[in-house]
Every structure is written in C-alpha cells, then in structure tokens.
C-alpha cells in the first residue's frame, strides 16, 4: 500500500506522492526499470504440473497457423464464424459499437445464438487445436451492451460507496448476466488511479486513492471470476476478468492515450497496486494501455510488460493488447507488429485488421522475427487461461447452466442491487436549511434536460460505445423523473416534468437534474474542469427557480468532479449523483422521506476524488495544485448542517 507522506493534508494523495516522486526520479531511461525495487508477488494459483502437461501436449500438436491464431483477436463486426475455417483465431470481442447483425438492439437470444455459431466453427476442423475460442466484451458497469441487462453505476460512483463487498456482488451479477448470453470474458475492471479529471475516462476509475482501487480490484475480480482456489472459480456462473489498462493510464495529465511522466516509484506505488491485488485475487487476463510511460508506448515496453508484470508480479495469464494499440508503436501498423509480441503482448486486439495481421505475424514467426520461444510462451498463456476457464469441457455456450435464462437479465433481484448501489453512491455536497430529505407528499417540479433521460444517467459504454441511445433502447430502467413521480404520487404528492423549469402554480420544491452528456475515452477529454463552459443554461435555470422563491435541489450527473461553484451557490441542496445508470429509484429513495415522515435512507456516499475549487485540476505535471473545495472522503449526512459559504465564481 502507498504510504501517505507526512503532513499529507487530506487531499489528493496522488498529487503529493507524485510530486515527491517526480522530484526523485532523476534521469530514467525510457523503458528502464529497477527490477529489484518491485515487490515479488505470487499468482493466486500455484503452477499445476498436470495442467502444464496438458498445455505442452496441446502445444506439441499445434501448427504454426494454429499458434499464431491464438495471438490474434478479431471484432464480431468484421469476422464471421465461417472465417474461422481459414483463420483459426483464438478469441473475438465485441467492441463498444459491435453487436450481432450489427444491430445494437439485437435481442439477448441473438447474442447466445452467435456465441454458439462461433463456438461450433472454432472447434470444427483446424481451429484452435481443439480448444474453443473466447469471446470478450466490455461489461464495465453491468452487461452494458445487451439491452435489458442490469446497469450499475459507473466506477466513479462505486468509488463513493467505499464498499468492496458491494463491488464483489456487482461483479457476481455482471458475470451471471454475461453468462446468460453465452460469453465468457469481460474487459473489466478498470483499475486506473485517475488523478486529473480532465481525462475522459475518469468515470471508469474508482478513485484517485490507490488503496481504494486496490481493494476494489480484488473485490471485482473475485466477484466476476469467483474466489480463486474455490470450486466456484471460473465455473459456469463466472467469467474471466481483465484489469486494465496496464500501466499508468490514470497519470497522463488528463490526456487519453497520453504520456505518463511520473517516476518509476509512482508507477510502482500508485499505478501498480491494483494489478498486484487483482493478480492476487486470480486475474487471468490483463489489458495493456494505449498510454506511454516516459515517452515509450506501453505496448512496446518489454521491461514493464515482461520483466515486471510477468516476472516480479507473477502474472502467468495472458496479456491482451488494446484496440489496434500496437499500431502506435514505431515501425508498426494495425496489420503488423512483431514488436508488441516481442515486448510481451500475448494477444493482439486487431478488430478489423486481423486477417492481414494474422498473415504478417505468421510470416514474422517463420522468419524468426518473433522467436519461437516467445510464440510458444504466448500460446501457453492463452491455453492456460482457456483450460483454467474450463473451455475444454464446458460445451456449447447455449448448453451451459445459465445460458438462455433470459429472465436473469435485469431480474428484480439484480436491479435491486443496482438501486442499492445508486443510493450508496450519492454524495451530498450542500444542504442549506436541511432542505433534504423532502416530504413525499410534496408538489415537485422536476426540471433539467437530464431528468427524463436514461442515457444521460448512464454515460458512455451503455448499449454502445459513446452511450447516447434514446429511452426506447432500454427495455428496463426508470428515469430519475419517473422514479420521483412514482415515489411522490404513492404518498399523495405530485411530480411534474418541465425540463425548462416553467410552472403555473408554484411547486413546493424543484429538483433540477442536469450535467454532462455521455462520452467515452478520448471523446471525453476536456481542457478545463469548468462545467459546461460554453453554455450556462442550467445555471440560469437554477437561478430562475431560486429567484421565484422555489427551493432548489440540484442533482448533478457527471463522470468526474467538476468546477460548479456557481451552480453550488445557486442551489439549496446539491447532490453529486455521478453516472448512476438505469435505476433512478435509488435517487428518489434518498431524496424523499417515507409517507410516515421517517427518513428512509441517509446519504452514505463519500468522495473518492477530490472536488476542484477552480477550473484547474488539483495537480498538473507532478506539481501539487490548489487545495480542493472538498477533500477525499467528504460528503454530508442528514444530521449535518449542510450550509456552504458563498463560493467565488470567477
Ligand atoms: C478501450 C478498452 C476496451 C477496448 C475494446 C479500447 O478502445 O481502451 O478499454 O476494452 O477498446 O472495446
Ligand atoms: C469501439 C470501441 C473501441 C474504440 C477504439 C470504437 O469504435 O466500439 O470498443 O474502444 O472504437 O477507438
């Protein structure tokens, strides 16, 4: 675990450590590491001589084509089961925008049917030397590409719950729902320690606190895979997890796929602990990062991928490349990259260019550009993971125990857990005159353009990559407005949806739901932390309602903490709701009292990211920034006063 330097002021653990470490870094050559300084870890599963003997037997029978096939991963948008007859690939994925028949609203049964077709093709004839292929998906907050699945809050909201056991159960349910559609591999959890919220992937990070990320990494891997060493481990109710993106993606000064300039110590003590914990919990696959360290792309960093991860950290599973990320190495292209394999990537993610990549990799193997020992090591790792995941004995996807049990997707029990996670994730930043909790029997005006939108509440990686589907794309789910209306009308109150906040009769209270529009990856990078710099209509709405004498509750949807001083000033109560997903009921549960007047649920969420006091991030280039407005761990409860001084708006 990372030690906090003496005098640590309670804010931005990352910054303080980072600053010290950058100063101590000296001149580290790119790719150079002090291997002995990395803790020697052990994988969760001890080497099993019988398993290894089976791997050797399989390997001995494999042709070079079959071996190379294990190293290449294609996207279902550009490969058909029939292609496997000529290209014996070891795995496939569906990218954020890929779905059966290229229809993102394809029914869950179509996913399962497609899984069967790929499975059948992969075990027929030449493919995979008798071991079926794996299919991986970005189930990063539930099985989020499948309409009807349970959607959990994005990781930033889960960070605020500070509840590893909740994370484990979310992993368990996500695994089960993925299993319903016949897939066996999930590209999650993201264990990035994000420390500049301008980064578009901040919401995929649990926290800027490495200790929390560490606990969650182990909990999520255990939930997805089952406990390492137990009978549940990778059984038919569980899936392979993929901690990502190794290493240092959270430290690139807010730039996606950018350069992490931190020292080796920072990488080791701040970015790496999540991986150590995940490996300790039995993680079998890890995804490499698009980002660089000290100017060198991670996909080409043999020291970190091979010597550190596979050596010191004891990782004996398969290391997956990210989406065409190998193409960013000098001398490489999407269709060709021996350098990534030689650096330690075992499986190259080549969504569309898999065919040419296969041909070129085969040539590189035959020419000795990829040494035979490296090829065999990569193949062994893939086979090891497949055997540990019981792919040899599980049978067709649809024949497995939970496959086709579509009633489990978004089942009432699963959604109840998601709703509880929403409740636990909410952070109350301000509560003037203890306006909250509200009486259920109130006349509520629900305003703000996000109040009735499931996409706005869910963010990126929902149904598709960027996540902006209309409500009709979600067979299950309750918008925040619908949930409020449900709650107050049951108690004899009323709720009216007026996105622009206009009203005829003055309501008792207005709840304004507003915030960021969905984004994923680099599309979400922003230059400053100011909320909505070009468009202040939400602020105007809050002010208008207050000026009309209506008490205002702000419910802020965002994938990161943002500078919202003016909005905080303009609201009586302010709730950071992150990206809660489809269970708006979790928000109504906390905002409203029971019909009897009793408090039903208090706020338990506490910040897992420091909240900025200015548009500038708390730390840039290793320099500690300004103190935050709210420190890590901040969050009010109903018993707290809840006043906030007027904040500077310039
Ligand atoms: C992302 C990964 C993701 C992969 C597959 C990449 O662009 O960086 O996190 O798993 O795509 O969708
Ligand atoms: C895919 C994502 C992927 C991204 C990479 C998108 O088209 O859907 O899965 O992460 O491309 O840039």
Query: Picking from 39-43, 205-209, 545-549, 551-555, which range would have the lowest pLDDT averaged per residue?
Result: 39-43
Mention every residue, 6+ apart, whose C-beta is less than 8 A from residue 218: 164, 277, 278, 280, 281
Mention every residue, 6+ apart, whose C-beta is less than 8 A from residue 76: 92, 93, 94, 98, 99, 100, 114, 118, 135
24 has pLDDT over 50: no
Q: Taking Cα atoms as reference points, which of 342, 380, 377 lies closest to residue 361? A: 342
Return the best residue to mutate from 75, 95, 347, 525 for the ligand 1 pocket (most ligand atoms within 8 A of CB). 95
Quote the pLDDT of residue 25: 38
Quote the pLDDT of residue 31: 61
Quote the pLDDT of residue 626: 81
Band of residue 32 on the pLDDT scale cut at 50, 70, 90 = confident
Quote the pLDDT of residue 124: 86
Q: What is the 3-state secondary structure (H, E, C) of 552-620?
A: EEEEEECCCCCECHHHHHHCCEEEEEECCCCECHHHHHHHECCCCCCCCCCCCCCCCCCECCCCCCCEE
Quote the pLDDT of residue 1: 28
Q: Tens of pLDDT along 173-206?
A: 999 999 999 999 999 999 999 999 999 999 999 9
Task: Answer yes or no: is the C-beta of 210 below 6 A from any ligand 1 atom.
Answer: no
Question: pTM of the predicted model, to two decimals?
Answer: 0.95
Band of residue 28 on the pLDDT scale cut at 50, 70, 90 = very low
Task: Answer yes or no: is the C-beta of 96 below 6 A from any ligand 1 atom.
Answer: yes
Distance CA 455, CA 464 (A): 10
How remote is the CA of residue 123 from the centroid of ligand 2, in Å?
Answer: 28
- The rounded Cα 292 to chain-centroid distance in angstroms is 20
Alpha carbon nearest to ligand 1 atom 6, residue: 323
Quote the pLDDT of residue 125: 64
Quote the pLDDT of residue 213: 98
The single residue of 204, 264, 322, 525 carrying the catalytic annotation is 322
Q: Tens of pLDDT along 569-610?
A: 999 999 999 999 999 999 999 999 999 999 999 999 999 999
Quote the pLDDT of residue 605: 98
Q: Tens of pLDDT along 129-181?
A: 669 999 999 999 999 999 999 999 999 999 999 999 999 999 999 999 999 99
55 has pLDDT over 90: yes
- The rounded Cα 57 to chain-centroid distance in angstroms is 37
Q: What is the pLDDT averaged over residues 234-244?
A: 98
Is the Cβ–Cβ distance between 340 and 370 less than 8 Å?
no
Is the Cβ–Cβ distance between 414 and 152 less than 8 Å?
no
Quote the pLDDT of residue 128: 54
Q: Tens of pLDDT along 310-341?
A: 999 999 999 999 999 999 999 999 999 999 99
Distance CA 270, CA 213 (A): 10
Q: What is the pLDDT averaged over residues 81-104?
A: 97
Alpha carbon nearest to ligand 1 atom 4, residue: 323
271 is catalytic: no
Is the Cβ–Cβ distance between 310 and 41 less than 8 Å?
no
Quote the pLDDT of residue 627: 86
Distance CA 560, CA 410 (A): 26
Mention every residue, 6+ apart, whose C-beta is less than 8 A from residue 281: 44, 217, 218, 219, 221, 222, 225, 228
How remote is the CA of residue 254 from the centroid of ligand 2, in Å?
Answer: 19
Q: What is the pLDDT averaged over residues 54-65?
A: 96
Q: Tens of pLDDT along 341-392?
A: 999 999 999 999 999 999 999 999 999 999 999 999 999 999 999 999 999 9
Q: Starting at the edge strand that comes first in sequence, how are the strands of the sheet with 259-260 ordered?
A: 259-260, 292-293, 296-297
- The rounded Cα 232 to chain-centroid distance in angstroms is 24
480 has pLDDT over 50: yes
Query: Picking from 10-19, 296-305, 402-411, 496-505, which range would have the lowest pLDDT averaged per residue?
Result: 10-19
Distance CA 286, CA 278 (A): 9
The 10 Å CB-count burial string (b at 16+, else e) for 258-297 is bbbbbbbbbbbbbbbbbbbbbbbbbbbbbbbbbbbbbebb
Q: How is residue 371 written in tokens?
A: 């040494």
Band of residue 126 on the pLDDT scale cut at 50, 70, 90 = low
578: phi then psi, degrees, rounded to nearest 5: 55, -140
Measuring CA to CA, how many Å separate 330 from each of 249, 298, 364? 20, 12, 17
Quote the pLDDT of residue 625: 74
């Amino acid at each position: 675990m990372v030690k906090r330097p003496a005098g640590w002021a309670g804010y931005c653990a990352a910054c303080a450590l980072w600053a010290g470490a950058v100063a101590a870094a000296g001149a580290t050559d790119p790719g150079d590491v002090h291997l002995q300084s990395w803790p020697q870890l052990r994988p969760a599963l001890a080497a099993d001589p019988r398993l290894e003997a089976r791997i050797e037997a399989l390997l001995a029978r494999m042709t070079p084509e079959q071996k190379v096939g294990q190293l290449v991963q294609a996207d279902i948008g550009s490969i058909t089961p029939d292609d496997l007859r000529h290209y014996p690939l070891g795995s496939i994925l569906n990218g954020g925008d890929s779905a059966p028949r290229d229809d993102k609203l394809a029914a869950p049964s179509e996913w399962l049917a497609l899984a069967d077709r790929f499975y059948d093709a992969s075990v027929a004839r030449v493919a995979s030397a008798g071991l079926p292929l794996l299919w991986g998906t970005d189930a990063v907050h539930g099985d989020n590409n499948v309409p009807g699945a349970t959607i959990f809050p994005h990781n930033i909201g889960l960070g605020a719950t500070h509840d590893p056991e909740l994370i484990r159960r979310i992993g368990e349910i996500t695994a089960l729902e993925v299993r319903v559609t016949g897939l066996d591999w999930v590209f999650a959890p993201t264990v990035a320690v994000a420390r500049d919220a301008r980064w578009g992937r901040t919401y995929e990070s649990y926290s800027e606190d490495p200790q929390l990320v560490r606990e969650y990494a182990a909990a999520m891997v255990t939930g997805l895979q089952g406990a390492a060493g137990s009978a549940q481990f990778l059984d038919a109710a569980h899936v392979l997890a993929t901690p990502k993106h190794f290493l240092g993606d959270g430290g690139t000064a807010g730039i996606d796929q950018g350069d992490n300039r931190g020292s080796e110590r920072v990488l080791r003590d701040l970015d790496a602990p999540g991986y150590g914990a995940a490996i300790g919990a039995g993680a079998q696959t890890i995804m490499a990062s698009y980002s660089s360290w000290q100017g060198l792309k991670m996909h080409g960093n043999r020291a970190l991928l091979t010597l550190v991860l596979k050596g010191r950290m004891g990782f004996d599973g398969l290391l997956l490349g990210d989406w065409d990320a190998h193409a960013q190495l000098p001398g490489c292209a999407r269709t060709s990259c021996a350098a990534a394999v030689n650096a330690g990537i075992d499986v190259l993610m080549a969504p569309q260019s898999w065919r040419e990549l296969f041909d070129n990799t085969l040539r590189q193997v035959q020419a000795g550009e990829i040494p035979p020992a490296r090829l065999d090591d990569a193949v062994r790792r893939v086979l090891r993971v497949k055997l540990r995941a019981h792919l040899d004995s599980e049978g067709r996807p649809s024949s497995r125990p939970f496959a086709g049990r579509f009633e489990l997707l978004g089942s009432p029990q699963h959604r109840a857990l998601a709703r509880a996670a929403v409740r636990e994730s909410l952070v109350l930043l301000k509560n003037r005159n203890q306006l909250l909790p509200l009486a259920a029997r109130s006349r509520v005006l629900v305003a703000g353009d996000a109040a009735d939108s499931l996409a706005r509440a869910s963010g990126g990686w929902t149904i598709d990559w960027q996540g902006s589907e209309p409500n009709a794309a979600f067979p299950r789910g309750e918008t925040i407005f619908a949930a409020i209306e449900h709650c107050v009308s049951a108690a004899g109150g009323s709720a009216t949806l007026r996105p622009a906040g206009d009203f005829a009769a003055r309501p008792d209270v207005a709840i304004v739901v507003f915030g960021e529009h969905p984004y994923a990856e680099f599309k979400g990078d922003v230059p400053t932390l100011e909320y909505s710099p070009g468009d202040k209509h939400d602020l105007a709405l809050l002010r208008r309602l207050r000026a009309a004498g209506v008490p205002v509750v702000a419910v802020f949807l965002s994938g990161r903490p943002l500078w919202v001083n003016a909005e905080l000033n303009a609201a009586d109560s302010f709730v950071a709701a992150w990206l809660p997903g489809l269970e708006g009921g979790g928000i109504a549960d906390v905002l409203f009292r029971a019909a009897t007047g009793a408090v039903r649920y208090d706020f338990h969420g506490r910040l897992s990211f420091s909240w900025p006091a200015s548009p500038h991030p708390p730390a840039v280039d290793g320099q500690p920034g300004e103190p935050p407005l709210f420190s890590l761990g901040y969050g009010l409860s109903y018993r707290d006063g809840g006043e906030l001084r007027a904040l500077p708006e310039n």
